[in-house]
Structure 1
């Protein structure tokens, strides 16, 4: 079977479904394919932090400004795909006070609300904090439930006319006169797609996807562990106010907290070791902020792989388990037009953060529309996502798109049997 489409988006994570939604809302004929269920790559295996921008305030002004802008947009459009928890950065006795001051100055400079409180008030607000907390900075961080967010974006894309195909791995491409002529899709779909334009939004797998078109996209993926611990009642996101390092974030869910994360380079985003030392490191480091974690049992663990663009990482000297800039704290996203590589109708979008997925998708859609001659503006910052006022409806969408993933499986209800019956 052969199917024609104006734009084929490959990859069903946040950026891919966001791009499909944006293009479809502008009236473009879009097909999205994902090799598994939606969000089954990096998006659904992230720590799920809705960044306020404070994490980047002292090192990456542009990234900080993007985060707070998108943070506010997502609060408006994403409903129960977001947890409005707030967040705090805590300075422990051993942490550099100058770093705290630099972050505070950056927040104020870039429009990020930041309130400084002393250690006693911090413990009044968050009793789980240790006696070693000297002071804290209250910021508008939050939690993203990526399974819900991606499913809602997919439903919006479909509502605007997009074709969203899961369990549809790309198995090959043919080129004709410097353009991708056909894309072979296997799995449950098993068809040949003839696109006018192709967007590679496969994240850490962007190199493998681009190679099918004879294009070299050099990625440098790094793995990171997340550890779920049964723990009710933690209010805000907790961040260690020090140079970015292993085990410096605690994300509150409804009945668990998620501890994160490590940063270790891997050769293959599908094949890497899940090592016990990473789990132990999360407890050791996170318990320095929140001593009540000490001795708790692991409820679940999962690893994610970051979609890092190798030339960018090399430019800042990133390395395994690095700290600060070596950890790639100021990384952005990159839109690569492969016309420069001899393939006219092909682009890859790599890097970035889940918080800024919508902005990345809008930029990608702008680029594609300019090439196609489509004169339409993005509406994704104003249009609320479907289902977001009802968690139960969102969770049914998650089942519809096979989008239930480790990052929020303790929050999202499992309606997979219902979805199968409906099919």
Structure 2
């Protein structure tokens, strides 16, 4: 059976459900298909840090500005999908003081709130910090619970008429070819075969590929060559009830430089190693030990702790230059790829790259683009409307279970 819709969104991570929500709020008929449960890919395997932008301020002003803007939006609409902890960038002996100063100045230039404190003042507030810490800067970082954020966004999309399908893998994409007078052939992607719980053919005016690290595989179903540059990272959760502030090591991004607190655990991360296959890649035990060793430099009580849980994720990075400069050199920004402009394939758009913090902005960019293609004149409203259940953790966790959105990133919080 063929099911018609305006837009099919493939992928049920933060960006995919964000696109579905945005389009549905503009009156567009939307179907979303996810091969697993929601947040089953990169979103649910992140460290769950809501960036203030400080991590990128001195190196990527535009990316940092986007982070602080979305940080403020999500604080208004996401409620208990977040935890307002604040964050410290900490300088240890051997860390470059000029790097600290450059980050501080860049944050101030971008309007990111910064409060520089001595090491002793920081330890008065957070006794768990190492006595070796020389100084810190406090920034408005926070913790995001990805499972809750995705489930609440999906419920909002559904409240506005979107159909959300989990366990519904797209198995094929179909198109119609038209030959122009000059002999050129344009392909229009018009339909998708979906298995699992749907087992139907979805016929859409436009298809959005929001599959993250798997965007290349999804695009290949439409005959489109899209080369991703995914990197793997490990997160290690250990029991710790004292620390209640996000910690970042104030140095060039490296392994083991982020500590993200939950109620009774902290999540330590992360590595960044290029992989060829986002489903199959090495997971060396030494990387887990390295996370604990490196983060213990900031919080000595972590030294020797046994992991409570460990999980790996793959970042959906895209390198348009294919420069091969190394995994950490690839931009964390997002890219909207219109395949009509790239290779004469109409009706198909991919959204790649980006961060959990900026997922709503990414979705807005996609929705703007799709609405222009469809001739829909409606503005984005996602920044002004709180998410369903935002003020009730029990409701949020019930939505997590309903959408099968439970993920390793916050399993200790949601219980799903």
Q: Which TM-score bucket, shorter chain as reference?
A: over 0.9
Q: Give the SS at the match of 1:274.
A: coil
User: Which of 293, 307, 313 is equivalent to 1:298?
Assistant: 307
Q: Give the SS at the match of 2:351.
A: strand
Conserved? CA contact 2:190–2:206, under 8 Å: no
Query: Structure 1 CA distance, aligned partners of 2:2 and 2:397?
Result: 32
Conserved? CA contact 2:26–2:378, under 8 Å: yes
* 2:33 matched residue in structure 1: 33
Task: Note the 1:194-213 alignment, pairs <5 A.
Answer: 194-213=203-222
Unaligned stretches of 5+ residues in structure 1: 415-423
Query: Structure 1 CA distance, aligned partners of 2:40 and 2:412?
Result: 16
Query: Structure 1 CA distance, aligned partners of 2:165 and 2:61?
Result: 37
Find out whether 1:90 has 2:72 as its counterpart.
no
4+ residue runs of structure 1 moved beyond 3 angstroms? Answer: none
**C-alpha deviation, 1:333, in angstroms:** 0.4
Conserved? CA contact 2:193–2:199, under 8 Å: yes
**C-alpha deviation, 1:297, in angstroms:** 1.1
**C-alpha deviation, 1:233, in angstroms:** 2.4
TM-score, normalised on structure 2?
A: 0.96
* 2:80 matched residue in structure 1: 80
User: Which of 381, 393, 396 is equivalent to 2:395?
Assistant: 393
Q: Render the CA deviation track for 1:31-53: whole Å, top value 9, x for unaligned.
A: 00000000000000000000000
Task: Note the 1:9-408 alignment, pairs <5 A.
Answer: 9-177=9-177, 178-312=187-321, 314-315=322-323, 317-320=324-327, 322=328, 326=329, 328=330, 330-340=331-341, 341-408=343-410
Task: Give the superposed CA RMSD.
Answer: 0.9
**C-alpha deviation, 1:123, in angstroms:** 0.8
**C-alpha deviation, 1:2, in angstroms:** 1.7
TM-score, normalised on structure 1?
A: 0.95
Query: Structure 2 CA distance, aligned partners of 1:77 and 1:94?
Result: 40
Q: Render the CA deviation track for 1:185-240: whole Å, top value 9, x for unaligned.
A: 00121111101000000000000000011111110110000000011121110000
Q: Give the SS at the match of 1:143.
A: strand
Query: Structure 2 CA distance, aligned partners of 1:107 and 1:237?
Result: 17
**C-alpha deviation, 1:331, in angstroms:** 2.4
Find out whether 1:409 has 2:411 as its counterpart.
yes
**C-alpha deviation, 1:311, in angstroms:** 2.2
Q: Give the SS at the match of 1:133.
A: coil
**C-alpha deviation, 1:127, in angstroms:** 0.8
